[in-house]
Amino acid sequence: MSKMKSNVALQKTKQGWQFIDESELETFVWDNLEEIFPLKPLARQLSIKGEICDILAIGENNQLAIIELKNTEDRYVINQLTRYYDNLISEQPFKENVDYNQEILLLAICPSFHRHNLIDKKYSRLNLDLYTFSLLCKNQEFYFTLGSIESQNETKVIEIKYKEVNLQNQQNDNIPEPPRLLLDWLGVLTNTELENLTQIRHQILSFDSRIEETVVNKSIIYASKYGKDKIRQCAEFCFDKKAKKIIFFLWLMIPNRQNKTIVRMQIDTMDDYLTYWRYIPLKSGSISWEKLEYLSLDHTFYSLPGNSQKFRYMTGFNSMFKELPPDNITYLKGWHLIFKQSSNQQLIVDELKNIIHQALQIWLQRVN
């Protein structure tokens, strides 16, 4: 039994466990390809003649393998493999790596196969190999199992780096049980990320009993109800599947605006939710990137960790620090300022708590 190379995002269903989406299944198979078949990975999501192959791989003596993946049952997987086969035979990409004189391997990996797939395979002139997979949880450890539909005795088992999180085991001061969607997201986080995000959630929900935690369109919002079918929102979580990070938003006031405009702002959750933040508008076009303004620390002077000089955090487009310490600051696209990771995390933690407190106070003023 072997271990995988990277973490995986799963979700719990009534039937058991599954990958959070098909791209996550693809990532898992790609990372563990040599252990599963074995094959050497060649390309992912290759577009050829307007169609996209999930995975291309190399077998023994440079034999090409085409792998199609499905996270749920699908009745057209044989048709897809047939088209990909024809496209690749015609175009012959990667000729320096692939011997097209050999038979191309056609592999399908699905949780189950619709009977139409079996009929298509039966009458196909191509040699197709069909594999079913399942996810097992045993003693709080997760495993990917794979077996051929023609040889049930040969099963591969690979451990999945995922943990089921139960926030109710922690001291929570009567904080409500989290929704299933949030628990699925938490299982892919690092221990530090989990600890920090738990503290963020606790700070929000313990502030006022009127704040409710609700799943809306695959996001988790923190809001109170007022009037008929209206809410006052103060925070939101959503999941970035590519980065495997929970993205955090707060409703904050734009600095230095006379009309006190309140907008949805992203608190950047890179580097274990501790290192820096940035701000984005609620809707594209409502506030242009050029007009973005950074939240200042009351325009006071303070020292960056590890630097004896004092700098003032300025607001406005292309208006940064009075002096720039290159070891502590990085620019992105001319407007995005990042504090690099430092050993003094307490300062950053305290500032994050302060920003959340600001959002909660703004919410309180709006509901009272």
- Give me 72's structure tokens: 């749920």
pLDDT for res 3: 43
- Lowest mean per-residue pLDDT among 145-154, 159-168, 251-260, 264-273: 264-273
Q: What average pLDDT does the segment 163-189 reach?
A: 77
Peptide bond into 38 cis (omega under 30): yes
Give the mean pLDDT of the chain. Answer: 76
Length of the chain: 368
Going by DSSP bridges, is the β-strand pair 10-12/245-253 parallel, antiparallel, or unpaired? unpaired
Residue 317 confidence (pLDDT) above 70: no
Q: 252: closest CA among 262, 242, 240?
A: 262
- Lowest mean per-residue pLDDT among 18-22, 43-47, 146-150, 293-297: 293-297
Q: What average pLDDT does the segment 63-67 reach?
A: 97
CB 349 within 8 A of CB 195: no
Residue 348 confidence (pLDDT) above 90: no
CA angle 66-111-69, nearest 5°? Answer: 25
CA angle 282-288-294, nearest 5°? Answer: 80
Residue 280 confidence (pLDDT) above 50: no
Residue 366 confidence (pLDDT) above 80: yes
pLDDT for res 332: 28
pLDDT for res 355: 83
Q: 58: closest CA among 87, 88, 79?
A: 88
More confident residue, 120 or 153: 120
Residue 154 confidence (pLDDT) above 50: yes
Architecture of domain 2-161: 3-Layer(aba) Sandwich (3.40)
Residue 109 confidence (pLDDT) above 80: yes
- B/e letters for 206-225, b = 16+ CB within 10 Å, e = fewer, are ebeeebebeeeeeebbbbbe
pLDDT for res 119: 96
Confidence of residue 333 (pLDDT cuts 50, 70, 90): very low
More confident residue, 328 or 242: 242
Domain residue ranges in the chain: 2-161, 167-367
pLDDT for res 167: 65
pLDDT for res 259: 76
pLDDT for res 64: 97
Residue 171 confidence (pLDDT) above 70: no
